[in-house]
Structure 1
Amino acid sequence: MFAGLFNSKPVLDSGSSEWILDTFAWALEHFELNVFKADTQLILPSNEFYPGKVSSISEMAQSVFDKTLAYAGMQHWPVQLVQPQHYQQHNLPKLSFAGGVRGAGSAPVIAGDINGQQNILISYNPNQINQPQDLIASYAQSLSAVLILQQGHLPPGGQEFMPQAVDLVACFMGFGVMLANTAYQFKGGCGSCYNPRANREVALPEQEMLYCLALFSVLKAIPAKTVLGQLKPHLKGTFKKAYKELAQKVKHSPNPALLAAVN
């Protein structure tokens, strides 16, 4: 009679949780398990990770971009940040890889010259300059999309799930705190405090993003309290619950990629 009375309801429905677990395993298989284990950090919105003073919007945008590129393990990629007023959408140049895809040993080069374009171009939303977590999360999403497209491996569920996979891989690269904190923008308060044009694009909502962040933290053996101190207050309860749930799921997972990540 009382067997299920005190059982905790899962954070997500089974379909969503299994997709996240499967897609994280897909990322581990295709985007450098060794880099994830040895080099990937939990990137935080702090002076420890984004230090330095700048004197202009463009300097800040470039400084944040350079650090985000390095934390993503894509510092050797031919990726260039361009000012919004100079950015034009081009076909994505195809890269070839002599070494690994990410990390210190990565040495990608442009495989073909597309209309004289020598770099992969990325820009930024100037409205996000005063919202650095949105700026970092948006950069991480752009780099994640480039990484997935260059590798050419569709995520579980196929092309339809590419936007969600972009968010997940950005978390996989270490940017889950910023992604979770910016997944929902509160529209209340004074009108001048809210700028909808500064919000980033969101494919994975808060609950799913927190689940990804909890999975990242469990796989990297990052204590829950380290993450909780960086999250918005209303996110902490869900994260704690997801962390506890995933610690058990990973421990008993039959997925070899997930097990390899923790061994």
Structure 2
Amino acid sequence: MDLPAEPQIRWILRTTATLLDLGAEPVRGLVQPTADFFPDHFDASPKSAAAVLTRVLEHAGLEDIAVELSVVTPEGETKSGGGCSSGACAAPVGKGQKFDRIAVLPDGGYRVALAAGELRHSVVLTTSLVRAVSFIFLNEVGAWDVLQPRDREPAVDMAAVLLGFGVLVANGSYIYAKGCGGVQVHSATKMAVDEITLALAVFCRLHQVSDRAVERHLELTPRAHFEEAAVWAASNSALVKLLRENPSAITADAYTLSESRSWLARTLRIGTRRSRTLDDDLAMLERALPEAKRNGAGQPPDPARQAKLAELRALVDESLDA
């Protein structure tokens, strides 16, 4: 599986730094699609969808914000209240139709809308609700003032990952569906699967989440992309630390990306230039002594070289005894 292109990787890192500064941190850790996080019975009804929305709000730490849910039929319905300007708020209803995903209500609350068809697909449903809640988070922290208009919709996906919903949106970024023409691939996210999984790998490094915990609940294609992204994140661990220690360097693009290297290559330092050690100097001098004897037979040994050799031997012996 290929990683995103370098410009997109840099965008992911810049946006991560920006959203971290705005407080995009997980409240419940890594949220998984399990009964531990979503214990309510789901029967594809609007009531059960509202229960999922309530859980997502709780996991994002936004349970105090008033949010109501409505379901839009294929015939459509007129929605009142102000709509958001982000494409993240638009969802398909029927052929050629769209509706506002989120409406900001006069009292400061929100109305989240689902298409009736989304209730029948759990991955699409959870992804749509997670993205809606991520939009609410960005709206509440004033993110639109610091994000470029073209970055706002993919930033909704980024916020979802950083709030702990990376597994859910990764699965929603690559959905197999059977159609009249055979198997098709759909996405309920703006970012592509390789981009979301790389952002998820960075999240894991930031919060010391094990790769296995993530892979356990990823679907086949997102899992394959995440495995490659996790290798990249491990190879760039120093860069990930900059997101906390020096985020201005990230936003200024003042860093160099490292190539992905496997755990074994990193452990054995394969592909990197190793610095010289005392053993290297000792071996070099020992190789040089026979050559010196051949070239200068009968000449007295060089006192300086003999002293250096003795010093190096003593240091090596001391390190071995320690």
TM-score band w.r.t. shorter chain = 0.7 to 0.9
Q: For the structure 1 residues 30 and 71, does the alpha-carbon distance in structure 2 shift closer, same or farther, using more than 3 Å as the test? A: same
* Displacement after TM superposition at 1:147 (Å): 2.0
Q: Secondary structure at the match of 1:255?
A: helix
* Cα separation, 2, equivalents of 1:133 and 1:169: 18
Tell me which residue corresponds to 1:64.
52
Matching residue within 173, 178, 187 for 2:163: 173
Q: Does the 8 Å contact 2:71/2:115 carry over to 1?
A: no
Q: Does the 8 Å contact 1:92/1:120 carry over to 2?
A: no
Residue 121 (1) aligns with residue 111 (2) = yes
Tell me which residue corresponds to 1:250.
237
Q: For the structure 1 residues 24 and 132, does the alpha-carbon distance in structure 2 shift closer, same or farther, using more than 3 Å as the test? A: same
Tell me which residue corresponds to 2:79.
88
* Displacement after TM superposition at 1:253 (Å): 4.6
Return the TM-score normalized by structure 1. Answer: 0.73
* Displacement after TM superposition at 1:88 (Å): 1.2
**AA of the residue aligned to 2:81:** H
* Displacement after TM superposition at 1:194 (Å): 7.4
* Displacement after TM superposition at 1:84 (Å): 3.0
Deviation per CA, 1:77-124: give whole Å up to 9, x if none: 12222343677152169xxxxxxxxxxxxxxxxxx983xx46211122
* Displacement after TM superposition at 1:223 (Å): 0.8
The equivalences for 1:11-30 within 5 A come to 11-30=3-22
* Displacement after TM superposition at 1:252 (Å): 3.8
Residue 133 (1) aligns with residue 115 (2) = no
Q: For the structure 1 residues 57 and 163, does the alpha-carbon distance in structure 2 shift closer, same or farther, using more than 3 Å as the test? A: same
Deviation per CA, 1:117-147: give whole Å up to 9, x if none: 4621112222122321211111111111222
Q: Does the 8 Å contact 2:69/2:113 carry over to 1?
A: yes
Q: Secondary structure at the match of 2:68?
A: strand
Larger relative strand fraction: 2
* Displacement after TM superposition at 1:206 (Å): 0.8
Q: For the structure 1 residues 89 and 219, does the alpha-carbon distance in structure 2 shift closer, same or farther, using more than 3 Å as the test? A: farther
Q: Secondary structure at the match of 2:237?
A: helix
Tell me which residue corresponds to 2:63.
75
Indicate the percent of aligned positions where both proteins have the same amino acid.
19
Instruction: Flag structure 1 segments of 5+ consecutive residues without an equivalent.
Output: 1-8, 94-111
**AA of the residue aligned to 1:84:** V
* Displacement after TM superposition at 1:27 (Å): 1.0
Q: Does the 8 Å contact 2:124/2:188 carry over to 1?
A: no
* Cα separation, 1, equivalents of 2:187 and 2:228: 26
Tell me which residue corresponds to 2:191.
204
Matching residue within 220, 225, 229 for 2:216: 229
Return the TM-score normalized by structure 2. Answer: 0.61
* Cα separation, 1, equivalents of 2:28 and 2:228: 24
Q: For the structure 1 residues 165 and 128, does the alpha-carbon distance in structure 2 shift closer, same or farther, using more than 3 Å as the test? A: same
**AA of the residue aligned to 2:59:** Y
Q: For the structure 1 residues 133 and 186, does the alpha-carbon distance in structure 2 shift closer, same or farther, using more than 3 Å as the test? A: closer
Q: Secondary structure at the match of 1:80?
A: strand
Q: Does the 8 Å contact 1:45/1:133 carry over to 2?
A: no
Q: Secondary structure at the match of 1:82?
A: strand
Tell me which residue corresponds to 2:152.
162
Deviation per CA, 1:10-59: give whole Å up to 9, x if none: 72222111111111111111025xx53xx342111112211132566022
Q: For the structure 1 residues 239 and 148, does the alpha-carbon distance in structure 2 shift closer, same or farther, using more than 3 Å as the test? A: same
**AA of the residue aligned to 2:228:** K
Q: Does the 8 Å contact 2:67/2:110 carry over to 1?
A: yes
